[in-house]
Every structure is written in C-alpha cells, then in structure tokens.
Structure 1
Amino acid sequence: MSSAFIITDLEGTAGVTSFADEAYPDARYLDRSRRLATAELNAAVTALVDAGVSDILVWDGHGCGGLWYEDLHPAAQLMHGLPLAPFSVIDPIVDAYDVGLIVGQHARAGVRSSNMNHTQSSRSIDSLTLNGAPIGEIAQSALYRGDAGMPFVFLSGESAACEEASEVVPEIVTASVKRGLSRGSAISLSPARARALIRDGVREAVLQHRSRPVAPTVWPGPYVLEKRYFHTDAADASGALPGAERVDDQTVRFRSESIRSIVYR
C-alpha cells in the first residue's frame, strides 16, 4: 500500500453544525468551516505520510468547496472544482489508488439524531434505497470504488456516520469527532482532540490493512435504485431521464446490471 485516495466532506467536521450558517455557499462562517475541515484532512495526511504512503490524492466532496486550499498539507494533491469532470475522466485516475479514506462525513438522510444528516442534496433528496436497503453517501462511495477493487479503510466524522460506515464496511476504522443530538446540534470534540483521533485512526487503519487487507465493498446485482425527492418538480425532472420509472409523486426508480451506472443516478 503506497497510495491513498481521500474523499472529504464538510458536514461531519467537528465544530460545524449548521447548513445555513456554516456549509451552504452563502453561509457566513463557511470559510471557518473550510479551515476546520482542512485541519482534519491534514491530520489524516500526516498519518499516511508517517506510515510511508507516498501518493495521496484528495477529492473535495463538498459541493461549493469544503477545503481551504492555502492550508493544504504539502504531501497532498487536490482534485476540485465544479462542474465535476465526467467519471470517464476521473475514474482512470482514482482507480489506480490502493485504498480509500473519508474525512468529515455525515450520516445518510433520515437518521433522526444525526447532525446535518442528508444524502447528496440537503435541499432536494429525501432518501435513497438500493435493492431495498437505505443507503447514503458512504455506501455510494464504497460501492462505486469497490467495483474497481478499492477498499475503504478509514472514515472520520459524525458518530452516526461512523456507525453507518461500520455497517457498510465492517472492517473499517472510524474516528467520531462529534456526536449528533439533532439535525441542527451536536457535541463536538475540541479541534486538537478531533485531529489526534484522526491521526491515530488512520495510523491504525494502515497497519490493519497491511496485516489483514480490507476487501472492496461489492453487492451482488442486478440493482434497483429508488430515489425519493422532497418535491414533485425534482421528481418530474428525474423521471424524465432515460431508463427512469416513476413510482409515485415523489419517487423515481432506476434499474441496472452495473453498480457504477446506477449508484449516482
């Protein structure tokens, strides 16, 4: 194991609790959130470097940008910008990395006690199910990259996200940096404690994977994805896509033999 791919998000960062004030593009404290998230990312990168990982690629996974570029660890490369390049461009780059990690993750939509819970869009998507099982962004990442043989070995973020990750990847190492009380409130660790937990967790994950490799996450097909929206106009647009089936006023269904072609529909 000499290379690592890290996906970052913002809402699972310690000290960040509010979409409106700290995560949306017009949030008044967005820059502060980005600095906190970057410091947590840098803790993970430091641990990877200390463990001898020489090639580290970071994907800023927060829609409007969740990292403070000027503070990025010098050992990391950053993949960022919108609109995203097509998967046909991204996949040959990312699939070459040995393992995946996630830093700053939140739980899927609908987890009552989870701070800032959502799946993909906090403003439009109510829920996702794959073959009848509820999924969030953790399963999406693990299944999409697992299809190419990449295992996810570490995740940090909100406590419910850590529990969700352990359901998707039982062998994963997690670091909980805040505990959700409701969608808008949490108990956060101090920045220093959160970063120390991340460093220790990444170190443990690397050692564990080298001695007992984590398997890529693969679910058997064929696949049926149901996507439920908050509002009917979003379901109208999604239902007009090729291969879509309208289930009810707010839900659209997709079918595929390929996980990569369906999990981000």
Structure 2
Amino acid sequence: MHLLVITDLEGVCGVDSFSQTRTGREQRKGPAMDQLAREVNACIEGIHSAKPKATVDVWDGHGSGGLRESDVGDARYLEGGRPYFEMDGYDAMLFVGQHAMAGSPHAPLCHTYSSLSIDYYKLNGTFVGEFACRALLAGLQGVPTIFLSGDDKATLEARQFVPEIETAVTKRGTGRESADHRDREEVCAAIRDGVAVAIERLDEIPPYSGLEPPYTLEVRYYEPYNVSKIDRIAGWIRKYLPIAGDLVPVSKGVTRIDARTIRITADDLLDTDSGLYHRL
C-alpha cells in the first residue's frame, strides 16, 4: 500500500493566529511546526498500526514551509512539486493540519491557497477550498481521500464533499483568529485512531468525483489586480493591455470578469496547458 499525506500548518492544534504561520522565521513558526510534526507522526503511526508494510509519502503543503524533513518519522518527505497531480501508484490520500476554505464562518485561519490575496474560489458554481480541489484531482485519477485532521470547520467541509471520510478535530473555531483547542495528546491519539480506521475502511470511501467537466473556475481577489500579475502567477498567459468593460479576454480559456475576478475554463483539470492546472 502506498499513501500520500498532505500537510498544512494552519489546522494543527494550538495555532489560531496568522503570525504563527506566515512568517518565514523559524522562531515564530517553531511551536506550530513542532505540533505539526507530532500530528504527522501520529498519522504515520496510525497507518502502520493498520498496515505495517505501507509506504508513506508526506508532502509539505504550507507555502512558506511548515514541516521539517528531520521531524518526519517512518515516511518519505516531499518538499517540492504538487504530487496530487501525479497519483499513479498511490492507494489513498490523507490530510493533516488542514484549514477551511476562505469565507467559512468562525473558521480559524480559513483561506483558499493565499490568505493574503484570494477572496474565493468557485468551481462549476460551487465554493471550493484546497481540500475539495485536491480531493477532486486525486479522485479523477481513481484515488480516494480517506482522512482529514484540522479544525471543526475544516472537518465539516471535508464531509460535505466526501461524506464517508474519517476525520479528527484539533480545535473548535470561534473566529478567523481564535479557537478553543483540544489537548495536544488527545489530538494525536484521535489522529492515530482515525487514520487506522480510515485505512481499514479504505474500500468504503470512494474517490471524489462530484464536479464533472467541462470545468469553470472563478477566482476573486481581495484587491484589484492587473494582467501582468496574472502573467507572473501563470507564466503561460500572454500579456494584454487592460481594456475597459466586463468579460475581457485575457488569454485562451481565461476571461477577466471585473477588476477583481477572473474566470478560467478547461475540459481537463490534469492538462498541464490548462489554466486550471496552474491555479490548483
């Protein structure tokens, strides 16, 4: 059995302020990273309690880095790339330290990809966050997402897309930067036990495929953007001068709706030439 664990920093126990996650300084992020390491290793222990011979890859999904390679136990540490686009050989995907999507009420540190710039993602008319996007990408490759740990709003979000998923709550959100935290040892125990159950129930948890092609992704920013910014984010987009009015073509498959919103269309999320590929 080969499993992929995706990690993030905002969803772990004891973290409820962006000051604990955004800075690149180890001394500021250190305590959060220490707890993520505990929770990740609890996940790995849960996997091996159910499947001792399982092979586990752990991907650090926090943009500025949230997991030290030296802290990862009996698993392979992945730092770069986006492995959820290439799931060949994997049997399941799991999330540790996940937060809720941008705009979720009372969800601590909620955001979608960028906590500083993205207002929301809407895929085929459905608001989505990092969990749904990545679970869908794995699901399109036949790989189920079987477990998620994070705050109570993140676990609820996961069950909305994958009702059969196993979850473990690390804290209960009371605001965007406030939460009531569980005991850290209890959290690790809940992760170990939940992951073991998820492994045993793997055949009962289907790959997520709830959003079907063709795909339309609407991305709205907090602040007005310019076309050159889009070009920097997705290098394949050629530059255009700003044109007044709505529904302005930016490049093939990409439309400018207004000063803060773009719409991207594609038939295949896994197509490397697709604008959706670069946004997810």
Pairwise same-fold verdict (TM > 0.5): yes
Structure 2 residues without counterparts, runs of 5 or longer: 232-238, 240-249
Whether the aligned pair in 2 keeps the contact of 1:11 and 1:23 (CA below 8 Å) is no
Match of 2:214 among 216, 222, 228: 222
**Secondary structure at the residue paired with 1:186?**
strand
Structure 1: how far apart are the matches of 2:33 and 2:172? 20
For residues 231 and 158 of structure 1, do their structure 2 counterparts lie closer, same or farther at Cα, with a shift above 3 Å needed? same
The one of 96, 100, 103 equivalent to 2:96 is 103
Summarize the Cα distance change of 1:23–1:191 in structure 2 as closer, same or farther, 3 Å threshold. Answer: farther
Quick one: distance in 1 between partners of 2:90 and 2:35?
Answer: 26
8 Å Cα contact 1:31/1:68 also seen in 2: no
Are 1:246 and 2:246 matched, yes or no? no
Aligned to 1:231: 223
Shift in CA distance, 235/181, structure 1 to aligned 2, threshold 3 Å: farther
2:113 counterpart (110, 116, 120): 120
Larger Rg: 2
User: Percent identity, aligned pairs only?
Assistant: 37
**1:60-119: CA deviation from partner (whole Å, max 9, x where unpaired):** 00011111322211x2001104xx37x7xx744x43110000000000000120000000
Mapping 1:131-142, distance limit 5 Å: 131-142=124-135
Q: Residues of 2 paired with 1:31 and 1:151: CA distance?
A: 32
Q: Equivalent residue for 1:39?
A: 38
Residue aligning to 2:67: 67
Q: Does 1:176 align with 2:175?
A: no
Which stretch of the first structure deviates more once superposed, 247-256 or 51-60? 51-60
The 5 A counterparts of 1:71-86 are: 71-73=71-73, 75-81=74-80, 84=81
Tell whether 2:265 aligns with 1:255.
yes
| Amino acid aligned to 1:215 | P
Q: Would the alpha carbon gap of residues 28 and 237 (structure 1) be closer, same or farther in structure 2, given more than 3 Å must change?
A: same
The SS at the match of 1:40 is: helix
Q: Is 1:21 the equivalent of 2:20? A: yes
For 2:269, the aligned partner's letter is: I
Cα gap change, 1:188/1:23 in structure 2, threshold over 3 Å: closer, same or farther?
Answer: farther
**Is the 1:229–1:235 Cα contact (8 Å) retained in structure 2?**
no
Normalised to the residue count of structure 1, the TM-score between the two structures is 0.90
Give the aligned residue type for 1:116. L
| Distance change in 2, residues 1:235/1:44 (3 Å) | farther
Structure 1 residue 21: Cα displacement: 3.3
Deviations 1:193-235 (Å, cap 9, x if unpaired)? 100000110011111124x2x2111121111100000111266
Counterparts of 1:16 and 1:226, CA distance in 2: 30
Number of residue pairs the alignment of both structures matches: 255
**Relative to structure 1, is the Cα distance of residues 220 and 91 closer, same or farther in structure 2, using a 3 angstrom cutoff?**
closer
Q: 1:235 to 1:134 in 2, by over 3 A?
A: farther
Structure 1: segments with no counterpart, 5+ residues: none
The answer to whether the 8 Å contact 2:20/2:32 transfers is no
Provide, for residues 131-173 of structure 1, a one-character-per-residue CA deviation record: whole Å limited to 9, x for no partner. 1110000011101111111100000001100000001111101
Q: CA deviation at 1:24?
A: 2.9
**TM-score normalized by structure 2?**
0.86
State the partner residue of 2:234: none
